[in-house]
């Protein structure tokens, strides 16, 4: 067991390194001159003093050969230094860690909500004996994944903040301010969970061992909860990493919609100002979350499925 954990940890670090490298090369090697973009601070294309450009180039090390730049940056990254923001001059790590608590609170509440709603929906849909109810319930998740998340947010704001003034439309104020963004975020994720779990429950309920359980004299609820659910939740668990990744990405957009402080704000302004170190920091942070979630899933998996003998598992692409 410890050997397995260590191996998975090493793998996780490997993925993080690779994600860092990939983002570095996307940001530095793709056409587009970061320095003139920095100096021009985005859209307006006023001519910039060449001397100032040269100074900037030197300051950020862009005048060095690329491999050297890469090693230099990687060395710093290893000790937790992702460089300084071009726009504000503050350390990237600090920017991200300051913005993080708000975003984590939001994503955590959204994830919980998504699990409860999505899981409940899948269970209710597959348990219902009435074909009509079943069909209506099963048609909800495809709807949930088809709607733009930011639009759901705007619709909720329109109804609950402008028409009825039940919840604040903007800002980070307390629990009340958390409700609308969390619900918005929970819709697509919950729909995904419901899709995967319902599909998996339906195939599981056709398995011969379900027939065995019914032949024992077990009732529908007993079969559903004691036999089908645990088996069916395994494929749903494998997509957890992807779902959390998506959730975080959506959070970036949703924070913008609700004008909340958090990682989304940081990201959006960094992209607008082509603040490369910050963007890279966000990308690496995204990979970190994915890696951590998958690590957790890998550790939980053998507990739920005795057939898995602690073998390394590749993350699975959502098959929905």
Q: Which of positions 283-302 make contact with other proteins (CB under 8 A)?
A: 283, 286-287, 290-291, 294
Burial 24-46 (b: 16+ CB within 10 A, else e): beebbeeeeebbbbbbbeeeeee
Choosing from 3, 130, 221, 314, the residue that interacts with other proteins (CB under 8 A) is 314
* Residue recorded with tokens 């495809």: 142
> Residue 307 CB, nearest distance to other proteins (Å)?
5
Calculate the CA 49 to chain-centre distance.
41
If binding means CB under 8 A, how many residues of this protein chain bind other proteins?
79
Choosing from 94, 97, 203, 212, the residue that interacts with other proteins (CB under 8 A) is 212
Q: Rounded to an integer, what distance in angstroms lies between the CA atom of residue 172 and that of residue 176?
A: 9
Q: What is the CA radius of gyration of the chain?
A: 24
Bridge partners (DSSP) of residue 84 are: 91
The 8-class DSSP code of residue 63 comes to T
Q: How far is CA 117 from CA 45, 95, 98, 124, in A?
A: 48, 33, 30, 10
Choosing from 268, 301, 302, 310, the residue that interacts with other proteins (CB under 8 A) is 268
- Residue 77 binds other proteins (CB under 8 A): no
40 CB contacts (<8 Å, ≥6 apart)?
A: 46, 48
DSSP three-state, residue 316: coil
End-to-end Cα distance, the chain:
32
> Residue 291 CB, nearest distance to other proteins (Å)?
6
Task: Identify residues 88-147 at the interface with other proteins (CB under 8 A).
Answer: 142-143, 145-147
The binding track of 8-47 with respect to other proteins, each residue x by CB under 8 A or -, is: -------x--xx--xx--xxx-xxx-x--x-----x----
> Residue 271 CB, nearest distance to other proteins (Å)?
5
Task: Identify residues 231-250 at the interface with other proteins (CB under 8 A).
Answer: 231, 241-242, 245-246, 248-250
For other proteins, the closer CB: 18 or 66: 18
For other proteins, the closer CB: 51 or 243: 243
Task: Identify residues 147-176 at the interface with other proteins (CB under 8 A).
Answer: 147-151, 154-155, 157-158, 162, 169
For other proteins, the closer CB: 51 or 308: 308
Helix 229-238 / helix 174-205 crossing angle, nearest 10 deg: 120
> Residue 169 CB, nearest distance to other proteins (Å)?
8
> Residue 209 CB, nearest distance to other proteins (Å)?
5
For other proteins, the closer CB: 119 or 277: 277
Which H or E element spans position 141?
helix 131-146
């Amino acid at each position: 067991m410890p050997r397995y954990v260590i191996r998975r940890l090493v793998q996780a670090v490997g993925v993080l390194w690779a994600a860092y490298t990939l983002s570095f090369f996307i940001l530095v090697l793709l056409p587009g001159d970061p320095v003139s973009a920095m100096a021009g601070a985005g859209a307006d294309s006023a001519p910039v003093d060449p001397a100032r450009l040269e100074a900037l180039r030197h300051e950020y090390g862009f005048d060095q050969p690329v491999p050297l730049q890469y090693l230099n940056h990687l060395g710093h990254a290893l000790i937790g230094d992702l460089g300084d923001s071009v726009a504000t001059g503050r350390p990237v790590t600090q920017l991200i860690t300051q913005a993080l608590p708000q975003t984590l609170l939001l994503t955590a509440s959204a994830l919980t909500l998504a699990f409860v709603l999505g899981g409940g929906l899948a269970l209710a849909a597959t348990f219902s004996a009435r074909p009509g109810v079943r069909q209506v319930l099963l048609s909800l998740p495809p709807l949930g994944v088809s709607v733009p998340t930011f639009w759901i947010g705007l619709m909720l704001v329109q109804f609950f903040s402008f028409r009825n003034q039940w919840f604040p439309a903007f800002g980070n104020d307390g629990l009340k301010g958390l409700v609308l963004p969390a619900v918005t975020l929970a819709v697509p994720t919950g729909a995904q969970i419901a899709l995967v779990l319902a599909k998996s429950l339906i195939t599981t309920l056709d398995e011969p061992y379900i027939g065995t359980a019914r032949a024992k004299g077990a009732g529908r609820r007993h079969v559903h909860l004691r036999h089908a659910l645990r088996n069916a939740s395994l494929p749903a668990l494998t997509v957890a990493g992807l779902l959390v990744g998506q959730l975080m990405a959506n959070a970036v957009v949703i924070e913008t919609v609700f004008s909340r402080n958090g990682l989304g704000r940081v990201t959006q302004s960094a992209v607008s100002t082509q603040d490369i170190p910050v963007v890279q920091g966000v990308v690496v942070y995204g990979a970190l979350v994915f890696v951590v979630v998958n690590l957790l899933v890998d550790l939980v998996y053998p507990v739920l499925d005795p057939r898995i003998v602690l073998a390394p598992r590749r993350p699975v692409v959502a098959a929905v």
